[in-house]
A and B are shown apart, each in its own frame.
Chain A
Amino acid sequence: MHVSTDILTWVAVVLTVGIFSFLWKDNPFYKFCEHLFVGISLGYFISLTWYNAVYPDLFRPLFVQPLSEVSLGNKLLFIIPLLLGLCYFCRFIPRVSWLVRFPMAFVLGWGAGVTIPAVLQTSIIRQMQGTFLTPGIFARWDVFLWAIISFVGVVCSVLYFFFSREHKGALKVASETGIVFLMVGFGASFGYTVMARMSLLIGRFQFLLRDWLGLIQ
């Protein structure tokens, strides 16, 4: 066992222990880590946003690059997002705070327009294509059985989300079958996620035991 002498490792250890201490109870040490986390994360985000979006996409072409590289027309095109972005500042000026709606409208409208066909393509049409029963299922008994079960599962689970009728009679049977599938699906997700999170916890312990305490290799 040889304890690390690297100051940065110690910082990481202190922060790790600070967060874990919340499991015991809320305490000043955790509050310190929590507030530090909040501040650093926002600062990190601001830096990334500046260097990954604002500077290369707006500031550099608009103010830094000479006209020989970016034509006047193109420069003028950058004025639009600049103005829209500046509208966000109006939120802090009560008289013109409604100007905030302009950039929001732009972002929302764009998002909605892009979403509709994209979702239809990936989540509806392509998923439907994958759900159809095809003659290929006759190849083997197990393939056939699983395909039928999957198909029934999809149909019944969709019926569970049918809100326009009271679930009575046949619809009740179908939606109850649907719930069975949904619950098995959630159980599977749970089991799967337990595995992933455990891996992360183990990773933290490996850090503490190896990088800090030097207890393992």
Chain B
Amino acid sequence: MKFFDALQRIDRRIIYIVMGLLVIFPLVKPLGLGVSSGPRARTLFDAVDSIPAGRTLLISVDFDPSSMPELYPMLAALMRHAFARDVKVLLCGLWVTGAGLADKAVTEIPPEYGKKYGDDVVYLGWKAGIDAVILGMGENIKNVFPTDYYGHPLDSLRMMNEVVRLRDIPMAVAISAGTPGYTDWLNFAQSRYGLRLGAGVTAVSAADAYPYLQTGQLTGLLAGMKGGAEYEVLVQKKDYSRAYMPAVAAMDSQSLAHVVIMLLVIVGNIAYFATRKRGA
């Protein structure tokens, strides 16, 4: 029974190493465990899929680099989906710290589809004030953002001639890590301007968003890395994109990590009960 005693006193660093290796392995060599998409992701996908070509999808980048692993894959997959269907993408953000992320997406993704900045995609940037920004965009986007993030006047961007105010946009998706976030879009844009709104949120805050799905205020929801993975799979299934799917790859790691934690609990308990029984 020395074995169980040793098991009880196992060095925590060994646990850390095992854990770390098992998370890294599938990232380098995906296991292909497969991701099945739930109804919430599919609703959002179908909604974006039904935007007529040539119209505009608005994406609000309301997260910062600390929730990047969970939310950035959603942003990338949504943009790929839109571009593959010749839907234009307008980006803005309520988080000052999210500006760099939107910039990254705008530089990296459109070239994959031969899309040009100003014609097919515009990033407005960030402005202080939440309700004022959204309500202002409802009246006239130019009043809130006279120039885009890079300093071009909006008049010089061809895409912005057709998109004057929120009513010209058939659908928006708010990807938010907290407040401000999709709730502000719900309160100020969805109810007033009838904007169709989908949301992407972190896993922890997903439960708070369910009520809005039930009432139909939200059209679809992506929750956490899994939500991102579901969307990536949907986009790939329709052959809209063949890009690397970071969230799908990460889901293998995630599955493995969960299994490891459970195994640790089980082994820990076996060792505990084995040594206790003997002691009693």
* A residues at B contact (CB < 8 Å): 23-24, 52, 192-196, 198-206, 209, 215-217
Contacts and interface: CB of A to CB of B under 8 A. Distances in A.
A194 B258 contact: yes
12 contacts: A23-B13, A23-B16, A24-B13, A52-B128, A195-B226, A196-B204, A196-B224, A198-B253, A199-B250, A203-B69, A216-B27, A217-B244
B232 interface: no
Interface string B244-256: 1010011001100
A206 B27 contact: yes
B250 to A, nearest CB: 5
B23 A198 contact: yes
B24 A194 contact: no
Contact of B68 (A24, A196, A203, A209): A203
B244 A195 contact: no
A86 B253 CA distance: 52
Given A24-B13, A196-B204, A202 B244 contact: no
Contact of A206 (B66, B224, B250, B257): B250
A206 B72 CA distance: 12
A202 B225 contact: yes
A193 B257 CA distance: 13
B202 interface: yes
A206 B225 CA distance: 13
A103 B251 CA distance: 50
A199 B28 contact: no
Contacts of A209: 24, 27-28
B203 interface: yes
**Max chain A C-beta neighbours (<10 A), residue from B16, B66, B69, B254:** B69
Interface of B: 13, 16, 20, 23-24, 27-28, 66, 68-70, 128, 202-204, 224-226, 244, 246, 249-250, 253-254, 257-258, 261
Contacts of B16: 23-24
Nearest to B256: A198
A172 B66 CA distance: 45
Contacts of B68: 203
A206 B246 CA distance: 8
A210 B202 CA distance: 22
Nearest to B19: A201
Contact of A203 (B20, B24, B70): B70
A215 B28 contact: yes
A195 B202 CA distance: 10
Contact of A205 (B24, B224, B226): B24
Contacts, number: 69
A29 to B, nearest CB: 16
**Max chain A C-beta neighbours (<10 A), residue from B13, B202, B257:** B257
B24 A198 contact: no
Contacts of B28: 209, 215-216
A199 B70 contact: yes
Contacts of B69: 199-200, 202-204, 206
Nearest to A48: B96
Contact of B225 (A199, A215, A216): A199
B27 A195 contact: no
Contact of B244 (A194, A200, A201, A216): A216
A198 B70 contact: no
Contacts of A52: 128
**Max chain B C-beta neighbours (<10 A), residue from A23, A24, A52, A209:** A23
Nearest to B15: A23
A11 B136 CA distance: 40
B253 A193 contact: no
B27 A202 contact: yes
Given A215-B28, A216-B28, A216-B244, A202 B254 contact: yes
B64 to A, nearest CB: 12
B224 A199 contact: yes
Contacts of B202: 196
Contacts of A193: 204
A195 B254 CA distance: 7
